[in-house]
Each structure stands twice: as C-alpha cells, then as structure tokens.
Amino acid sequence: MDSTVASLLSILGEARISETNVISWGSPVPSFGDASRSRVATLGLNPSNREFVDTSGIELNGESRRFHTLGSLGIARWSDARKSHVRLIVESCRAYFERNPYDAWFRQLDHIISGTEASYYDEAASACHLDLIPFATACKWTGLTPAQRSILLDMSMGALANLLRESPIQIIILNGRSVVERFQEMARADLCKQIMPDWSLRRGKDGVVAGYSYKGRVRVFADVKLRREILVLGFNHNIQSSFGVTNQIRTAIRNWIRDEVSEVGS
C-alpha cells in the first residue's frame, strides 16, 4: 500500500485540493484495517473529520490520535514526506482497530458484516473499511458542493481501484444510497435493486422510507481490471446516519448479507 499512499500524498499537493474543503494537514486514509489480509470490505463515502479532531475541533494527540498529520510527522508539507513517513501512515491504517478506533461508527457496521464471519476487530477474521474518497473533509459529504464532490471522486477513484486490484477482497458491502450510486458510476455497473419490506423506516405518523437491497458482481472498477470477480451487496439506508434505523432493521440487513454470502459459498 506504500505506492497508494505516496500517490495520494501527491494529490494533497495539487492546487485544486484547496477547493474541496479537505483537511489538508491530515494524512490520506486508503483503508481502515489491513486491506491486504481482508476478505470482506465495507465501503463508505469518506473519512469523518472525527478521525483527526475531537468534538471541539482540536487535533487528536497522544493515545487519542488515530492517523498521522503533518504535525505528528514533523513535516511542513506533504511534498516533504519520505519513505519512512509513508510507512508510518500505512501502519496507522493497518493497525487502526488495534488502537483507538471510532467505535461509535464502526461497531454498527461490524454487526452488519458479522454474519459473514468477518470482523474489523478480529485478526483471524479480518475485514477492513474503505472509502470512495480517502480524504477527510471539514464538513459532512452533504455539506460539499456538487463541484467539490466531483473533484474528490475524480482524484480518488484510481487509488481505490488499484487497492482493490491488489487486495484479496471478495465481498464489498455498500453503506447507504449515496455510496451505491457513486459505486455504480465508478464501476459502470447496474446492481440489481430489490425492495425489502422489512427494512422500511417510519417518518412521522404516516410517512415511510422504503428499504432497498442491491446486489451484483464486478470485475472492473474505474476502468481498472480486477484480478477476480467481487460480490457487491448494498443497502440504501446509511446505518449510522439514516434517522429511524432500528436494531431490528440492522439485524434484518445483517441476516440478508449472511444469506447472500452463504448462498455463494454453498
């Protein structure tokens, strides 16, 4: 993953990155956990700013630190990064779940994938998390303009494609409608969409947000041919962000993923 990190650091040095609201002093995050050992990967949009700052917006330090920054590496700009700095960034990604993971976010997803006998937190059942965009932004994805989103996706897709090609990942779980839509665009794939009545969310007295599952297989991502076919499963509700996602719905999604993966393995 050293070459992936090096290429992402060069992106942080490009002028147009300043137009995107990226936390430019924070390192890129190509993976949460060790993608080189993972059979299952969940996929989100981009890292939370909480990976780098506390609730007051102050940079995490000491035992609270999750990823490296310019300050923690003792360099003034990313163009100053050497191989030793790249290795430190890579190691912070691989060992993420062994230190101070953002459990309020990842524990819910870990439950979703638990039916596949994979986990972020168990070395013997290795899973990782990836993002379409490996750069944290100061605001949420919904706070970015369409132009900013487009720039970030364009700058990031090559790195994710190469990471997928070089990894042993066999199953990708897409977390939320926005991720599903962007993934389909980048993979040029039409996933099979199916309504799931048990996943419906209540909105007020009479309102309902329907639940949908997505399923397909990909061999190409961002015009990069992968070394194998990858099973892709997704759902339209964002597990952490969608209002009204109950434990019952989370368990129903978990069981659907378990059954789809079991069917492939049988």
52 with 67: CB under 8 angstroms? yes
Cα 43 versus chain centre, distance? 4
Q: Give the CATH number for residue 137.
A: 3.40.470.10
* CA quadruple 231, 186, 29, 159: dihedral, nearest 10: 100
Domain ranges, residue 55: 2-265
pLDDT at 124: 81
Dist. CA 229–CA 172, nearest whole Å:
11
pLDDT at 52: 97
pLDDT at 60: 95
Phi, psi at 228, each rounded to 5°: -165, 170
Six-digit token string for 104: 């309020």
Dist. CA 1–CA 28, nearest whole Å:
12
Q: What is the reported pTM?
A: 0.94
Q: Give me the residue label for tokens 């993002």.
A: 131
pLDDT at 266: 46
pLDDT at 242: 66
- Which are the contacts of 29, defined by CB distance < 8 A and separation ≥ 6? 47, 51, 67, 93, 131, 134, 135, 136
All residue ranges of the chain with pLDDT < 50 are: 266
pLDDT at 31: 97
Q: For the chain, how many structural domains are there in total?
A: 1
Point out which residues pair with 131 in neighbouring strands. 44
Closest CA to 42 of 186, 249, 238, 195: 238
pLDDT at 254: 97
Give the sign of the dihedral formed by CA 6, CA 7, CA 10, CA 11: negative
3-state SS record for the chain: CHHHHHHHHHHHCCHHHHHCCECCCECCCCCECCHHHCCEEEEECCCCHHHCECCCCCECCHHHCCCCEHHHHCCCCHHHCCHHHHHHHHHHHHCHHHCCCCHHHHHHHHHHHHHHCCECCCHHHEEEEEECCCCCECCCHHHCCHHHHHHHHHHHHHHHHHHHHHCCCCEEEEECHHHHHHHHHHHCCCCEEEECHHHCEEECCCEEECCEEEEEEEEEECCEEEEEEEEEEEECCCCCCCCCCCHHHHHHHHHHHHHHHHHHHC
